[in-house]
Structure 1
Amino acid sequence: MTDLFRKLRQAAHMMVGIPDYDAYLRHMADHHPAQPVMDRTSFFRDRQQARYGGRNGGRCC
């Protein structure tokens, strides 16, 4: 049930545009382990900039 709740929560956040910091941390650990990660506040600001004022759409890969 926990996995279902996590997926539902993630889907709800995606629908309203709230970025998923935990997914970002998993992605960085899996794909970019040597790079430093942003703290939660920096991550949120970066996602807002990518969504509303960024040029590249906010994707790293």
Structure 2
Amino acid sequence: MALQTEALRQRWATLTKCVCDGARLMVGQGNYDAYVAHIRKTHPDQEPMTPTEFFRDRQNARFGAGGRGGFRCC
């Protein structure tokens, strides 16, 4: 019974992570951990943005701050 419970717990954790990641992408917020892993792997000479900087960068990219284009409803 404990094995089934652990398997269900793992499946639930995977499902909730997928749902949360999908929701973040829908509102223009990427996955910070994936970003850090990417930067460390492909740009080892660069320091990754802080979580706050990353959040702001993703917001600016989505809503077009700083002349970056982005989504506008009007």
For structure 1, list consecutive stretches of 5 or more residues without a partner in the other structure. none
Which 5+ residue runs of structure 2 have no aligned equivalent? Answer: 1-10
Taking only aligned residues, the RMSD between alpha carbons, in angstroms, comes to 2.1
* Larger Rg, first or second structure (1 or 2): 2
Counterparts of 2:69 and 2:33, CA distance in 1? 22
Deviates more, 1:2-11 or 1:23-32: 2-11
* 1:25-50 deviations in Å (ceiling 9; x for gaps): 11112211210111011111111111
2:45 matches 1:31: no
Q: What TM-score results when the alignment is normalised by the length of structure 2? A: 0.59
CA distance in 2, matches of 1:13, 1:30: 23
Aligned to 1:18: 29
Letter in 2 for 1:10: D
The structure where helix makes up a greater share of residues is: 2
Identity of aligned residues (%): 47
**Distance across 2 between alignment mates of 1:36 and 1:48:** 20
- Give the number of aligned pairs: 57
TM-score normalised according to structure 1 size: 0.68
Could you tell me how far apart the structure 1 residues matched to 2:25 and 2:33 are?
A: 13
